[in-house]
């Protein structure tokens, strides 16, 4: 029931709003005196602001040109006295990442490149046929010129931002000399970091996605991110003991019948990971643990397996109990399951769980359709899960609070949706003294602010572009162009486009690392 989901979703609105509503100020009818006082206060405030404006000569930076942007802010890109200056573009609430330049797996002597990038703003349509101005088709074309006397065989790598969830719509297509070509896909690790949960305590409960091109610069600048993406996957051949729970039964008169397993571990010697469990309790002092799940009554095997994965010393003397509900307080009879103990490696466990996850993903209410699912290559996904586990999971020396509880469900599901940089690898040969054309076409979602955030940037669509970041190519020229601009207007930019005067093609300054374009659909 949709309203029921909405009711549940409403439960997750920001806590300060809930607090505000819990202690409402009584809405009194306003009296004339109060109105007069309010108006007087506003007048004082306006006068104060004007005075401050005069003595400071306006806020710093307003009306000045953008430093370090030699081909930049012309036309609509110039800030007026009434709007803040966006020296480096707007920081949006949802950041789509820049369009990156092509690079090669290894630097090639005697190879130069020309680049032309076009944003095509032809509108899409809603299901009912009405026009929808959202995103742009980007064609990023390169001419690779070989000035040596030998043919050069290289692997071209085209980086793009994305996630496994969105891969079907984000993955570029590639042509070499006008012919469609195939490319192998590589996926970099999670591109973001972690942050606290609202209290500045250094904790790492929340994800922190990249929110500017500078975050990607920090990620890609030294080449280590790409090297890791192309390198070997982490090996997690750690021996583990796996307890799998199957053949569930529970009395029919309990809707939330719960099965729990209890045991006590030496926390220095044993780490417990779970998958498919709904609850966990533990005592840090004694090492007592309890893990529980709602019994999928009458089902031999739930679609999601239920596993306890024990690293280190095996658990001893575990007990199973059946309970009325997830509180695990009131015991009931008739709750049972089969527990199978196996010895495996952590890699084997992750293999099993990742396959299961992808196979059942489409069944979820938020799932993909079949085509989208097919776009997620199992080896890449599986590898990314291993990377996240090794880098930030309970087996890592730098474990993050978010994953310290050992829930493999979280690690696997978040691997699917995390922002990362992916690479399309295309082998090409450039003949001696000759050249080839290689072009990538991709649909690029814009960066944006949420519709009713109250932000001044609502309705803006931002597109970022970097000229050199992460590339080992020697560019002799970079150009940019816009197409099908009838239904957009440019709000801010540092490219130098001027739609009013028909300037839709510009030559870029290779010394300028970052270009930005912010457009607004015309009404």
Partner 1 sequence: MEDSEIIELYWRRDQSAIAETSQKYGGFLWNIAWNVLRSHGDAEECVNDTYLRTWNAIPPARPFAFRAWLGRVTRNLSLDRWKQARAEKRGGDGMEVLLGELDQCVPAPHGVEQALEDREIAGFISAFLRTLPQEPRIMFLRRYWYGEDLADIAAKLGCGQGKVKSSLFRTRKALRAYLEKEGVTL
Q: Based on the shown chain and the rule CB under 8 A, indicate whether residue 363 belongs to the binding site for partner 1.
A: no
The DSSP bridge pattern shows strands 173-176 and 179-181 to be antiparallel
* Distance, CA of 489 to CA of 523 (rounded, Å): 10
Report, in Å, the least distance between residue 417 CB and partner 1: 8
Q: Based on the shown chain and the rule CB under 8 A, indicate whether residue 298 belongs to the binding site for partner 1.
A: no
Q: Based on the shown chain and the rule CB under 8 A, indicate whether residue 523 belongs to the binding site for partner 1.
A: no
Residues 103-162 interacting with partner 1 (rule: CB under 8 A): 124, 126-128, 132, 134
Report, in Å, the least distance between residue 170 CB and partner 1: 14
Q: Based on the shown chain and the rule CB under 8 A, indicate whether residue 38 belongs to the binding site for partner 1.
A: no
C-alpha separations of 266 from 241, 244, 273, 351, 473 in Å:
15, 21, 15, 28, 54
For partner 1, which residue of 178, 298, 454, 502 counts as binding (CB under 8 A)?
454
Q: Based on the shown chain and the rule CB under 8 A, indicate whether residue 16 belongs to the binding site for partner 1.
A: yes
* CA angle (158, 162, 167) in 5-degree steps: 90
Q: Based on the shown chain and the rule CB under 8 A, indicate whether residue 15 belongs to the binding site for partner 1.
A: yes
Which of these ranges, 156-164, 275-283, 380-388, 432-440, lies near partner 1 under the rule CB under 8 A? 275-283
Q: Nearer to partner 1 by C-beta: 178 or 451?
A: 451
Residues 402-421 interacting with partner 1 (rule: CB under 8 A): 404-405
Are the C-beta atoms of residues 236 and 311 closer than 8 Å to each other? no
| Residues in contact with 393: Cβ distance below 8 Å, sequence separation at least 6, in sequence order | 399, 403, 406, 411
DSSP string, 428-452: EEE-TT-EEEEEEEEEEPPBB--TT
Q: Nearer to partner 1 by C-beta: 33 or 452?
A: 452
Q: Cα-Cα-Cα-Cα dihedral of 21, 23, 28, 30, to 10°?
A: -70
Could you tell me which of 86, 213, 69, 211 has the C-alpha nearest to residue 490?
86
| Residues in contact with 254: Cβ distance below 8 Å, sequence separation at least 6, in sequence order | 324, 325, 332
For partner 1, which residue of 109, 180, 284, 363 counts as binding (CB under 8 A)?
284
Which of these ranges, 422-430, 451-459, 470-478, 487-495, lies near partner 1 under the rule CB under 8 A? 451-459
Are the C-beta atoms of residues 313 and 267 closer than 8 Å to each other? no
Q: Nearer to partner 1 by C-beta: 179 or 285?
A: 285
Q: Nearer to partner 1 by C-beta: 107 or 201?
A: 201
For partner 1, which residue of 112, 325, 472, 509 counts as binding (CB under 8 A)?
325
Report, in Å, the least distance between residue 125 CB and partner 1: 9
Coil, helix or strand at residue 90: coil
C-alpha separations of 437 from 116, 140, 143 in Å:
11, 11, 5
Which of these ranges, 25-33, 108-116, 229-237, 374-382, lies near partner 1 under the rule CB under 8 A? 25-33
Q: What is the DSSP letter of 498?
A: B
For partner 1, which residue of 48, 63, 67, 198 counts as binding (CB under 8 A)?
198
Report, in Å, the least distance between residue 442 CB and partner 1: 17
Helix (H) or strand (E) holding 299: none
Residues that bind partner 1 (CB under 8 A): 1-22, 24-29, 124, 126-128, 132, 134, 197-199, 203, 255-256, 279-281, 283-285, 325-327, 329, 366-368, 401, 404-405, 450-454
């Amino acid at each position: 029931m949709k309203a029921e989901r909405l009711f549940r979703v409403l439960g997750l609105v920001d806590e300060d709003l809930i607090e505000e509503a819990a202690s409402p100020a009584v809405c009194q009818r306003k009296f004339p005196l109060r109105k007069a006082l309010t108006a007087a206060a506003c007048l004082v405030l306006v006068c104060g602001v004007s005075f401050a404006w005069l003595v400071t000569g306006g806020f710093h930076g307003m009306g000045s040109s953008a430093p370090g942007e030699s081909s930049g802010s012309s036309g609509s890109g110039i800030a007026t006295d009434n709007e803040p200056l966006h020296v480096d573009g707007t920081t949006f609430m949802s950041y789509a990442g820049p369009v990156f330049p092509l690079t090669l797996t290894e630097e090639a002597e005697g190879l130069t490149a020309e680049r032309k990038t076009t944003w095509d703003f032809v509108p899409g349509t809603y299901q009912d046929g009405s026009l929808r101005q959202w995103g742009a088709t980007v064609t990023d074309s390169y001419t690779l010129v070989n000035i040596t006397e030998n043919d050069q065989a290289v692997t071209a790598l085209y980086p793009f931002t994305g996630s496994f969830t969105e891969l079907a719509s984000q993955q570029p297509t590639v042509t070499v000399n006008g012919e469609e070509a195939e490319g192998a896909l590589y996926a970099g690790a999670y591109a973001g970091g972690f942050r606290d949960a609202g209290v500045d305590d250094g904790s790492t409960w929340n994800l922190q996605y990249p929110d500017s091109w500078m975050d990607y610069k920090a990620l890609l600048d030294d080449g280590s991110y790409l090297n890791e993406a192309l390198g070997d996957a982490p090996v997690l051949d750690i021996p583990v003991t796996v307890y799998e729970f199957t053949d569930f039964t529970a009395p029919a008169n309990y809707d939330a019948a719960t099965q729990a397993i209890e045991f006590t571990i030496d926390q220095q010697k044993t780490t417990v990971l779970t998958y498919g469990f709904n609850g966990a309790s533990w005592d840090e002092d004694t090492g007592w643990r309890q893990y529980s799940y709602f019994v999928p009554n009458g089902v031999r095997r739930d679609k999601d397996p239920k596993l306890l994965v024990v690293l280190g010393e095996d658990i001893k003397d575990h007990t199973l109990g059946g309970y009325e509900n997830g509180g695990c307080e009131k015991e009931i009879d008739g709750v049972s399951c089969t527990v199978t103990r196996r010895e495996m490696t952590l890699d084997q466990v992750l293999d099993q769980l990742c396959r299961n996850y992808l196979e059942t993903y489409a069944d979820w209410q938020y799932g993909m359709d079949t085509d989208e699912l097919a776009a997620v290559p199992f080896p890449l996904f599986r590898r990314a899960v291993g990377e996240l586990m090794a880098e930030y999971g309970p087996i890592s020396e730098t474990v993050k609070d978010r994953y310290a509880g050992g829930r493999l469900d979280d690690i696997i599901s978040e691997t699917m949706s995390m922002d990362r940089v992916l690479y399309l690898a295309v082998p090409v040969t450039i003949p001696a003294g000759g050249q080839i054309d290689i072009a990538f076409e991709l649909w690029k979602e814009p960066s944006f602010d949420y519709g009713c955030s109250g932000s001044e940037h609502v309705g803006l669509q931002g597109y970022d572009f970097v000229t050199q970041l992460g590339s080992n190519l020697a560019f002799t020229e970079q150009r940019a162009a816009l197409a099908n601009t009838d239904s957009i207007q440019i709000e801010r930019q540092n490219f130098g486009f001027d739609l009013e005067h028909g300037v839709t093609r510009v030559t870029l300054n290779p010394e300028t690392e970052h270009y930005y374009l912010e457009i607004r659909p015309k009404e």
